[in-house]
Amino acid sequence: MSQQRNGQAAGVSDGAVFPDLPEATVARLPEYLRALHNLAETGFDTVSSEGLAAAAGVNSAKLRKDLSHLGSYGTRGVGYDVALLIAQIEHVLGLTQRRAVALVGVGNLGHALAGYAGFSSRGFRIAALFDADPGRIGERINGLVVHDIARLPEVVAAEAISIAVIATPAHAAQSVADRLVAAGVTSILNFAPCVLSVPDGVDVRKVDLAIELQILSFHEHRKSALTTLPSPTGDGSMKIRPTLDGEALAT
């Protein structure tokens, strides 16, 4: 059982059909795509690696390295053709068709995700909603009716769904994942704060909102610990910020 795909992105073993892409590159391509769409709307036909890198928040060496994995789509001395690069990245990401997505769990967070416009505008169609709560089944959200989760196999097949979003409480998520996999889903975006176990060949990505804040909390904690220490640059200045932590500080 694998819990998360890692290392090089899957491709055929001889490398003839598709080049393998480093996972770090795959994770950045969507950001480049978003930046390119912005540039296109602003009227740019062409962009340099420096310009695109700035728009995507990375350095230009990394951007060029990433794009070099896709093949050569830039022109030396000129830059990249915006429309061409958009098409190429959309092709690599498999976004040339709109993908149908199932969403399981229409509570607080799931309800918001069902109405999230960003899914629709960036390559996806929420094709079906599911919940286990009898009180919610039949409810309409954004033009979609909430199905009983028992109907997963039927609806997943009918809508040709291969990607699902789990927005249930943590205690229900593993069971939902099992049922999704049994119904034929092969990619899962998990918002429940728990680890999912899935068979090889199924990809899981996890988004844990509290974990994001906890990582920020760590850095806040570090920053406040620096409050009264002498500057490491040796210029004699002190960083004085009020510490909210009330923690013992080295002096």
Partner DNA sequence: TAGATTGTTAATCGATTAACAATC
105 assigned binding-site residue: yes
Shortest CB 145 distance to a second copy, Å: 19
Nearer to a second copy, 95 or 183 (CB): 95
User: Among 2-10, 86-94, 140-148, 161-169, which window interacts with DNA (CB under 7 A)?
Assistant: 2-10
Nearer to a second copy, 65 or 150 (CB): 65
* Alpha-carbon dihedral angle through residues 190, 196, 197, 203, given to the nearest 10 degrees: 20
Nearer to a second copy, 57 or 71 (CB): 57
Nearer to a second copy, 111 or 179 (CB): 111
Nearer to a second copy, 18 or 145 (CB): 18
Residue with the two structure tokens 């760590």: 218
95 assigned binding-site residue: no
Could you say which residues in the range 165-204 bind DNA, by CB under 7 A?
none
- The closest of 245, 249, 250 to 219, measured between CA atoms, is 245
Residue 95 partner contact from DNA, a second copy, none using kind-dependent CB cut-offs of 5 to 8 Å: a second copy
Nearer to a second copy, 78 or 226 (CB): 226
108 assigned binding-site residue: yes
- DSSP per-residue codes, the chain: -BSS--SBPP--TTSSSS---BHHHHHHHHHHHHHHHHHHHTT-SEE-HHHHHHHHTS-HHHHHHHHHTT---EETTTEEEHHHHHHHHHHHTT-SSPEEEEEE--SHHHHHHHT-HHHHHTTEEEEEEEES-TTTTT-EETTEEEEEGGGHHHHHHHHT--EEEE-S-HHHHHHHHHHHHHHT--EEEE-SSS---B-TT-EEEE--HHHHHHHHHHHHHHHHHTTTSBPTT-SS-B-----SS------
Shortest CB 69 distance to DNA, Å: 8
Could you say which residues in the range 6-65 bind DNA, by CB under 7 A?
6-8, 22-25, 47-50, 58-62, 64-65
142 binds DNA (CB under 7 A): no
Residue 101 partner contact from a second copy, DNA, none using kind-dependent CB cut-offs of 5 to 8 Å: a second copy
80 binds DNA (CB under 7 A): yes
Cβ–Cβ contacts within 10 Å for residue 182, how many?
11
59 assigned binding-site residue: no
Q: Alpha-carbon distance 70 to 91, whole Å?
A: 10
Strand partners, 47: 80
Residue 93 partner contact from DNA, a second copy, none using kind-dependent CB cut-offs of 5 to 8 Å: a second copy
Residue 203 partner contact from DNA, a second copy, none using kind-dependent CB cut-offs of 5 to 8 Å: a second copy
| Residues of the shown chain interacting with DNA in the complex, contacts defined by CB under 7 A | 6-8, 22-25, 47-50, 58-62, 64-65, 67-68, 72-80
Which residues does the annotation place in the binding site for NAD(+)? 105-110
